[in-house]
Chain A
Amino acid sequence: MPLISLMINGQERAAEVPANRLLVDFLREDLEMTGTHVGCDTSQCGACVVHMDGKAVKACAIFAVEAVGQEVQTIEGEADADGNLSALQQAFKDQHALQCGFCTPGMVMSAADLLAQNPKPTEHDIRTHLEGNLCRCTGYHNIINAILVASGQDPTVPA
């Protein structure tokens, strides 16, 4: 089995895995980084979104070997080393943007990707950018408010 070594949240992590290991399984099963979720088998739900070289991608639709040599950012890297939540995570908490929390890692990573490109998104920008993130608890309004608040805007969507 090949030894796969990746840069994840700024740290080198390695494991011996079968060649066809998906990135999401590498994270969850081999490195026990279970923050990244798997919500579907069809690459449609967005629960597994991580960043690769600064861009949002679905970790269930990439093989771990394909991520070698690239910087992977996961939800575990959002809070700082002392466990203080990022502004985005804090806004999700304050705006009650999660119920069961299953979709949340993907939502936060997609939202972080949006804010990196567009620091003051409109409600429309947010909805469009989150097209690939599904919430089975359907708490979309609060998720949008959280992203508005995290970008220094007022939460305008009625709950």
Chain B
Amino acid sequence: MYEFDIFLPTSVDDAVEKAGEDQQFLAGGQTLIPTLKQRLAMPEALVSLSKVAELRGICRGDDGALCIGAMTTHANVAQQSDFPALAELADGIGDPAVRNRGTIGGSLANNDPAACYPAAVLGTAATVVTNTRRIAADDFFTGLFETALEEGELITEVQFPIPDSAVYAKFVQPASRFAIVGVFIARFGTDVRVAITGAGENGVFRWAEAENALADRFQSDALEGVGLGDVDILSDIHAAEDYRRHLVTVMTKRAINRLCSQ
């Protein structure tokens, strides 16, 4: 590995202060460290968040939201029982060793187009809290590996409103365990939100046409003839565009059927 420094701050203030130009925050490292090995990223220094205790933990906010610290591992999210669909999503990320180290904040900051968490965050209209502000999910994901985060801005917490019911259905890429297509559906009263990961060329997106159809009638056949609009769909060695497009509908129907049979 090329030479670089690693800082180990113990508080958010200290971490933000240490993060200068050409430096990068290191969360769980399950994506960033392999990326560094291949020199696909070459920061001059890393600011490891592993010793910042205030970034870990799960609690319920005054408004009932589930508040998850940015450095909370997938394994810990999988263990909470307040939001079962989110626990199930976290339990399907990577493998057990990855889940013991990888974090929700790291996943969101990276915004991989096939990552699972972005679907839950967008699907529930969660709020991403940083050291400087609160960012609504609809404003957070801005493109492929792109987010609304500014240089040196650090995610501290994610606040999930807990839906009346929710489900995550993932068609898994068996080697990486990322989603070829992942569908997160959340119901709040009569409102339905549908977020799709794995499929969009610009990363996670809301499937507005499906949301409208399902708000009228929450049945899988309500999706008959409902198209994906003008979203650009990914095509790669794992799945071609038309296949992925088809899979979005199939997985959304499976998700609905699972919710209806609960």
Q: Which residues of A contact B (CB under 8 A)?
A: 18-20, 22, 41-44, 46, 49, 52, 55-58, 60-63, 65-66, 69, 110, 113-114, 129, 131-133
Contact = CB atoms under 8 A, between A and B. Distances in A.
A61 B199 CA distance: 27
A133 B4 CA distance: 30
Given A41-B34, A43-B33, A132 B3 contact: no
Contacts of B177: 131
Nearest to A43: B34
Interface of B: 1, 3-6, 8, 26, 29-30, 33-34, 37-38, 46, 48, 50-51, 75, 94-98, 100-101, 175-177
Nearest to B94: A132
Nearest to A2: B6
Nearest to A55: B100
Given A43-B34, A44-B175, A65-B48, A58 B5 contact: no
A104 to B, nearest CB: 16
A113 B54 CA distance: 27
A43 B46 CA distance: 19
A132 B48 contact: no
Dominant secondary structure at the A interface: mixed
A65 B8 contact: yes
Contacts of B8: 65-66
A20 B32 CA distance: 13
Given A18-B3, A65-B8, 18 more contacts: A19-B4, A20-B1, A41-B34, A44-B176, A49-B97, A55-B75, A56-B97, A57-B101, A58-B30, A61-B30, A62-B33, A63-B33, A66-B8, A66-B48, A66-B51, A69-B51, A113-B96, A114-B96
A57 B48 contact: no
A131 B97 CA distance: 10
B34 A132 contact: no
B97 A110 contact: yes
A135 B92 CA distance: 21
Nearest to A68: B8
A63 B38 contact: no
Contacts of B33: 22, 43, 60-63
- Which among A41, A46, A66, A113 has the greatest number of chain B C-beta atoms within 10 A? A66
A94 B233 CA distance: 51
Instruction: Sort A-B residue pairs by CB-CB distance and give the 10 closest, nearest first.
Output: A132-B95, A55-B100, A131-B95, A66-B50, A43-B34, A61-B33, A56-B97, A19-B6, A58-B97, A57-B101
A21 to B, nearest CB: 9
Contact of A61 (B3, B34, B75, B175): B34
A157 B94 CA distance: 25
Contacts of A49: 97
B23 to A, nearest CB: 13
Nearest to A117: B96
A42 B96 contact: no
A120 B143 CA distance: 45
Contacts of A46: 95, 97
B1 A22 contact: yes
A63 to B, nearest CB: 6
A96 B233 CA distance: 47
A18 B51 CA distance: 19
A49 B98 CA distance: 10
A110 B29 CA distance: 19
A118 to B, nearest CB: 11
A82 B50 CA distance: 36
A58 B101 contact: yes
Given A58-B97, A63-B48, A19 B30 contact: no
B206 to A, nearest CB: 30
A47 B128 CA distance: 35
A131 to B, nearest CB: 4
B200 to A, nearest CB: 25
